[in-house]
Amino acid sequence: MQSPARRPGSVSGMATRQEAGGGGGHTDMKRSKLWVVVGLSWAVAIGCKGTDKLPALTTGLTGTETPPLLVGPDAAAKAPAPVELPAKEKAHVCFRTAQFFEKDGRIEDAIRMYEQARATDPALQRPAARRLAVLYDKIGDFTRSTTEYEALLKEYPKDADLLTDYGYSHYCRGDWAKAEDALRKAVQIDPQHKKAWINLGLAQAQMGQYDEGYRSFCKAVREPDAHCNIAFVLATQGKIAEAKDRYRLALSLDPNLRAAQIGLGYLENPPQVSEKPTHPRREKFDPVAAAAQVPTVAEIEARLKKTESGTFVVLPRSYGKIGESD
């Protein structure tokens, strides 16, 4: 990664402002002191070693002496060398930066920072590898994600969360059998793992095991919600009549179930298809692409958006949240 741009108020910036400001030197001197205080406070906040020497560094801030300004073409050469953080602190800064990038959707940047964090501090290997496995899945690099998952499972074979993510990774690839295998192991270790149960139900339904999938769903959600999940899978497989029946069954159990109302309405009144589609129609059923469009019960309100025409449009879902239910 490139080094971040110099913060306004750096040493060279302060010198330039004072030279150009004429009589405003006193005000600019106050600003320079403020930036030094802010910088030193930041160093203390992140736990940099050597902060016991801060009183010596702050001489002149409250005394009568004025810190010398670095002016002229040789200013850069005269500037003190930047303070290098200890390895552990640098690794933790990288890790927290990676978390910020991941939350912000900057996946490539997050991957680089997680990699740098674990390379700098081996103690961060496990948490960094956990996030890297998921992020490699997100960008479709399943070779690397498999490498991360297998290395982690070799060391932590009883980690239900890890097995759940590994199963979902195979689900995203359309490998339902491997997904089912990993997810069964997860629920055996933690029978209360709702996410694992719902992802297991999805994998089973994708293989046509609708009754088994329904029973798995019922371990995590109510019966009408379980029928909705089955209906979603049936709809993505092109089995519209069966999907409608499941929605109706869900509504017979809960007439006010919004997810079923919306889903059934969408199937009974699909959007008008343009006579001249802008994209070529896919002739062959793609199970991986279909599975990627299966929304969750908990996210149905956010994923289905009512249009002005009264029909509904399915919005893409985000990775890793499928099957979660509040």
Q: Which residues pair with 314 in a beta bridge?
A: 304
pLDDT at 218: 97
117-123 long-range CB contacts below 8 Å, 24 or more apart? 117/91, 117/92, 118/91, 120/87, 120/88, 120/90, 120/91, 120/94, 121/87, 121/88, 121/90, 121/91, 121/92, 123/88, 123/91
pLDDT at 275: 54
Q: How far is the C-alpha of 307 from the C-alpha of 314, rounded, in Å?
A: 11
Q: Do 233 and 205 contact (CB within 8 A), yes or no?
A: yes
Read off φ and ψ for residue 3, nearest 5 degrees: -70, 145
**235 burial class (0-12, 13-18, 19+ CB within 10 angstroms)?**
buried
Read off φ and ψ for residue 164, nearest 5 degrees: -65, -45
Q: Is domain 202-269+287-326 annotated with CATH 3.40.50?
A: no
Q: Do 253 and 224 contact (CB within 8 A), yes or no?
A: yes
pLDDT at 273: 62
Q: How far is the C-alpha of 53 from the C-alpha of 153, rounded, in Å?
A: 45
pLDDT beneath 50: ranges in the chain: 1-27, 29-64, 282, 285, 297-298, 300, 303-326
Range list of H helices, the chain: 11-21, 25-45, 54-57, 75-78, 87-103, 107-120, 125-138, 142-155, 160-172, 176-189, 194-206, 210-218, 223-236, 240-253, 258-268, 287-291, 300-303
pLDDT at 87: 83
Over residues 18-53, the pLDDT tens digits come to 333 444 444 454 444 444 444 444 444 444 444 344
The sign of the CA dihedral 295, 298, 300, 302 is negative
Hey, how many other C-beta atoms are within 10 angstroms of the C-beta on 13?
Answer: 15
How do beta strands 304-306 and 312-314 pair?
A: antiparallel
pTM: 0.60
Q: How far is the C-alpha of 193 from the C-alpha of 30, rounded, in Å?
A: 57
pLDDT at 274: 59
